[in-house]
């Protein structure tokens, strides 16, 4: 009996010893499983790393798309204001830019002003040409994003923007004419152009005012009332400028200054009237010596300051006005 008891106890102890490591093997990972998990943690990227890779891939894709030539110019142009729109934001930029340039011309030495203007004009012309060339059409995305609020439909549909002609016109005017005539020419560009356009739009239904077919192309689709409105808006500024100027001879009377101011304003408005709408442009596929000509056109931003500055010299000559020096701040 004692022998049987001892055997049963040994059997019980043996069975408990076998089960204990079995339970441990269930609760603790084996060495091979630990090695596998370590390898997986080193090889497999974490979720944050995967997200960063996805973001980098998206950024690269966006950049490639931005700089691609796949630009829908027609879609962009259809979202812009047409030529016959009042477009107040564009008129404000036009007005403020012109008066700012006229003021800077008084403060900056002439050679520096012309140098900067030439650099800007050449740079703008280069960009204008390139944005219609294969490989650079992505530039239109920048134009649309940055200047869409002041662009017109035709400026994203095969034509240059008015900015190039604006800078070029101001620069040429500053180069060709003395300061007094140049500043008056630039000022008429700033004032007469947008205001004549505004009054022309507002009086478009006045039949007798309209110049539908133009006089030999002169003033096509513009109006006499627009011309008169633009000229009238220039008179106060012109008078203030001439009144504040220092004259080399006897100071002209108030009546003479008003007449001169009116004639200068009419010259600026007439220059704007003379440029037909739509403008005369280089034919689309025109070439010279096999080289395609850029889509240049006759733009009022270029014509108005040059024509007006020339007219100022003639007006002063006819009225026998003495020479003048503009006030440091133009009108005071």
What is the tens place of the pLDDT at every residue in 103-138?
999 889 999 999 999 999 999 999 988 888 888 888
Whether 36 maps to a domain, the answer reads no
Whether 263 maps to a domain, the answer reads yes
**Sign of the four-CA dihedral 292, 168, 260, 220:** positive
**SS3 label, residue 47:** helix
Whether 1 maps to a domain, the answer reads no
H or E element in which residue 240 lies? helix 224-244
Q: 266: Cβ–Cβ under 8 A, 6 or more apart, which residues?
A: 231
Evaluate whether 280 touches 298 at the Cβ level (below 8 Å).
yes
Whether 41 maps to a domain, the answer reads no
Angle at 272 between CA 158 and CA 101, to 5 degrees: 85
Residue predicted with more confidence, 74 or 322: 322
| Domain, as residue range, for 163 | 66-325
Q: Name, of 58-62, 147-151, 274-278, 310-314, the range with top average pLDDT.
A: 310-314
Examine the pLDDT at 43 and tell me if it is beyond 70.
no
Residue 160 pLDDT grade (very low, low, confident, very high; cuts 50, 70, 90): confident
Evaluate whether 110 touches 176 at the Cβ level (below 8 Å).
no
Q: What is the mean pLDDT of residues 264-293?
A: 86
323 vs 306: CA distance, rounded Å: 20
Q: What is the mean pLDDT of residues 186-214?
A: 88
Q: What is the mean pLDDT of residues 238-245?
A: 94
3-state DSSP: the chain helix, strand, coil percent, rounded to 5?
65, 5, 25
Whether 168 maps to a domain, the answer reads yes
- Extract the runs of DSSP E, i.e. beta strands, from the chain: 210-211, 222-223, 246-247, 287-288, 291-292, 324-325
* Lowest mean pLDDT segment, chosen from 11-15, 121-125, 294-298: 11-15
H or E element in which residue 221 lies? none
- Return the bridge partners of 218, or none: 215
Whether 298 maps to a domain, the answer reads yes
> Which pLDDT value is given to residue 223?
87
Q: Say what the pTM is.
A: 0.77
Residue 21 pLDDT grade (very low, low, confident, very high; cuts 50, 70, 90): very low
Whether 20 maps to a domain, the answer reads no
Q: What is the mean pLDDT of residues 308-332?
A: 90
Closest CA to 165 of 242, 233, 243, 97: 97
> Which pLDDT value is given to residue 4?
43
Task: Work out how many domains the chain is built from and give that number.
Answer: 1
The CB-based long-range contact list for 141-149 (8 Å cut-off, 24+ gap) reads 141/66, 141/71, 144/76, 148/79, 148/80, 149/89, 149/90
Residue predicted with more confidence, 294 or 51: 294
Whether 24 maps to a domain, the answer reads no
Query: In this structure, what DSSP letter does residue 177 have?
Result: S
């Amino acid at each position: 009996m004692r022998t049987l008891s001892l055997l049963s106890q040994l059997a019980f102890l043996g069975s408990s010893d076998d089960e204990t490591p079995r339970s441990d093997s269930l609760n603790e990972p084996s060495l091979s499983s630990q090695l596998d998990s370590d390898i997986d943690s080193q090889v497999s990227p974490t979720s944050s790393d995967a997200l960063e890779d996805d973001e980098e891939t998206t950024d690269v894709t966006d950049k490639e798309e931005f700089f691609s030539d796949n630009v829908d110019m027609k879609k962009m142009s259809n979202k812009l204001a047409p030529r016959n729109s009042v477009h107040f934001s564009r008129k404000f930029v036009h007005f403020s830019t012109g008066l700012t340039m006229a003021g800077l011309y008084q403060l900056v030495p002439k050679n520096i002003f012309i140098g900067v203007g030439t650099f800007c004009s050449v740079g703008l012309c280069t960009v204008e040409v390139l944005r219609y060339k294969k490989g650079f059409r992505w530039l239109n995305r920048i134009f649309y994003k940055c200047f869409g609020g002041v662009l017109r439909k035709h400026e994203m549909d095969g034509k240059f923007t008015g900015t190039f002609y604006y800078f070029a016109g101001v620069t040429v005017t500053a180069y060709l004419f003395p300061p007094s005539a140049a500043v008056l020419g630039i000022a008429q560009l700033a004032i007469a152009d947008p205001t004549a356009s505004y009054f022309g739009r507002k009086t478009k239904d006045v039949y007798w005012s309209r110049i539908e077919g133009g006089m030999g192309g002169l003033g096509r689709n513009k109006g006499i009332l627009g011309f008169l409105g633009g000229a009238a808006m220039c008179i106060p500024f012109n008078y203030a400028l001439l009144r504040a100027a220092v004259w080399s001879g006897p100071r002209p009377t108030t009546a003479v200054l008003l007449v001169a101011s009116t004639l200068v304003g009419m010259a600026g408005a007439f220059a704007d009237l003379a440029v037909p709408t739509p403008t005369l442009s280089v034919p689309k596929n025109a070439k010279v010596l096999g080289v395609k000509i850029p889509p240049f056109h006759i733009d009022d931003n270029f014509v108005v300051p040059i024509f007006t500055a020339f007219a100022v010299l003639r007006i002063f000559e006819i009225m026998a006005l003495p020479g003048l020096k503009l006030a440091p701040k133009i009108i005071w």
